[in-house]
Structure 1
């Protein structure tokens, strides 16, 4: 028997409220407290949408808000008063505003003990925000004016696994073991498009993704990746790496799956691990490729019937160098799983 439309609506409402662990009274209070500048969808009662409103300040946010969207406004101050009741926030999006480091009021962030995602891309920050909550897992502050990472700013952030600092003004003296201390469980760090001339020190051994594109890095220290035994994705495109600045076996790390070295000054193909799957060497100064030199195993030991003996390289890019096709036969004999090669 079909249910009346009114009863169906009530059941839908009850389901949505229960799914977000809210009582009917909490739901009604949340809807009534919705800032007039914002939108509070009834079917998503813990979310408040204040994005693209031309706001110059944050309206007062009600209790029980979990998701707050404030991107694409003109906000200059992260106000403790406006967010006084927003202690349940899990997700805060402040991308593309005009917030300065001075505009982040003291204690405003660590008053949110459940905050997991903090997005402050495309603002006017000059420093990584301090007093961050211990619950934080993702911090995105790309494309600001950050030139400083305060010492100890990450201490206590044991849940932080993603840190995006790309497109800032960080120099070597800002990215140090002291400034990165506390990132004990970091998985991904993005330091692309800064002003680094050397590889960052102090990264935790939990790292799997390291993005350093668009800096001025000229060399990699011998044994650099011994301290990063889990690194799988490494991007160093658009730097100033020459073959003299790349120690012979520095990339011969079994964990690396994706190695990107495009737009550098390499004259030779570096030694690579047998497990590498993607290698980008386009737009360097490489004149020739000798398969017997770059093959990570002896060609004579490769047995197609023994999976472990076959190098895993599937994608190789060499265009933009001084190499002329065709590719040499010993490359094909070594890397038998290659499905795409650009030359």
Structure 2
């Protein structure tokens, strides 16, 4: 019986290893090298869970680890030695620790040459780390104390598609063409809840999603989006935008799908692009809406129900402005695809 159990156990282990495309010998080595402070699931041996353990240091990570979870600890140092064997890492999560600029040991980030996603939110960094792996696709640094983006820090990082810097202390002079150079593949940039007083410069033309909520931005240059032709999702909630800071055609963008301008100081509805589907204007100072003024197409075009130029607006939020109901008929006539209006 004991022999049969032994054979059965070995078969199960082999099956787990094969399910991870990991040779059996590597599987055994990975399980045996699992740090005592962590958990390495036998059915998913490439993942190492060291989160929520009260750790003050990173234990030695096994060599066949792809996913490393270290969030919610007391770690102050990202150690090169602890990561030296884990050269296959694809995903590292060190959110909610106590890592400082000085706690980033030289070469520690470079020890992960295949890393795709790095999560370092809710730490104590004051600068974007240097020496980032060029393989990165997502970098999350939200809610640190970052006020500086070193020149050249993103050089050669054309694979990075998501950069999250929300909730830091970045000012206008930190976000420039020089500091962002190298991000030729960037899709999503999150600069919400910083200390910007103007629209950031240096963003690559590939930017599709731009989040700038909770800053102190008062105006948008009339030609600003000419260098950002792919912008589809734009959030500028909780800034200081007034009519004078929003040129009439500044949002006339061919790819824009969602525009959020809630909690600003607008007294008029800005120009609505033909392809825009979601518009948030709640909690401004708008007292009335005139469909003739905001409709992006002519009355003749509206008469042709099959016309491809029909405005695509489907969701319009206007509550918190004091606009008396009902919505004017000319608004409904223009935006005939509207499915929801909040007033």
TM-score category by the smaller chain?
over 0.9
Matched residue SS, 2:83: coil
Show the 5 A alignment for 1:18-33: 18-33=18-33
- Once the two structures are superposed, what CA deviation does each residue of 1:12-54 show, in whole Å capped at 9, x if it has no partner? 5434322322111111111111101111110011111000000
4+ aligned runs moved over 4 Å, structure 1: 4-12
Aligned to 1:81: 81
The separation in 1 between residues aligned to 2:308 and 2:8, in whole angstroms, is 58
1:335 aligned to 2:339?
Answer: no
- Once the two structures are superposed, what CA deviation does each residue of 1:122-166 show, in whole Å capped at 9, x if it has no partner? 000101111011110000000000000010000111100000000
Report the Cα offset of residue 254 of structure 1.
Answer: 1.2
Report the Cα offset of residue 226 of structure 1.
Answer: 1.1
- Once the two structures are superposed, what CA deviation does each residue of 1:251-284 show, in whole Å capped at 9, x if it has no partner? 0011100000000001111111110000000111
Q: Given that residues 89 and 114 in structure 2 are in contact (C-alpha distance below 8 angstroms), is that contact kept between their aligned partners in structure 1?
A: yes
- Structure 2 unaligned runs (5+)? none
Report the Cα offset of residue 322 of structure 1.
Answer: 3.0
Aligned to 1:193: 193
Report the Cα offset of residue 307 of structure 1.
Answer: 5.0
Report the Cα offset of residue 221 of structure 1.
Answer: 0.6
Q: For this pair of structures, how many residues does the alignment match?
A: 340
The 3 A distance-change label for structure 1 pair 311 and 52 is same
Aligned to 2:312: 312
The separation in 1 between residues aligned to 2:85 and 2:303, in whole angstroms, is 65
- Once the two structures are superposed, what CA deviation does each residue of 1:208-229 show, in whole Å capped at 9, x if it has no partner? 1000000000000111111111
Matched residue SS, 1:82: helix
1:135 aligned to 2:148?
Answer: no
1:64 aligned to 2:87?
Answer: no
Aligned to 1:170: 170
Q: Given that residues 125 and 145 in structure 1 are in contact (C-alpha distance below 8 angstroms), is that contact kept between their aligned partners in structure 2?
A: yes
The separation in 2 between residues aligned to 1:7 and 1:286, in whole angstroms, is 75
Aligned to 1:206: 206
Segment of structure 1 superposing worse, 140-149 or 9-18: 9-18
Report the Cα offset of residue 5 of structure 1.
Answer: 9.1
Report the Cα offset of residue 7 of structure 1.
Answer: 7.3
1:53 aligned to 2:53?
Answer: yes
Show the 5 A alignment for 1:290-309: 290-303=290-303, 305-306=305-306, 308-309=308-309
Aligned to 1:34: 34
Alignment root-mean-square deviation, CA: 1.5
- Once the two structures are superposed, what CA deviation does each residue of 1:98-121 show, in whole Å capped at 9, x if it has no partner? 000110011111121110000001
Report the Cα offset of residue 235 of structure 1.
Answer: 0.2
Report the Cα offset of residue 10 of structure 1.
Answer: 5.4
Q: Given that residues 18 and 24 in structure 2 are in contact (C-alpha distance below 8 angstroms), is that contact kept between their aligned partners in structure 1?
A: no
TM-score (norm 1): 0.96
TM-score (norm 2): 0.96
Show the 5 A alignment for 1:99-114: 99-114=99-114
The separation in 2 between residues aligned to 1:307 and 1:99, in whole angstroms, is 57
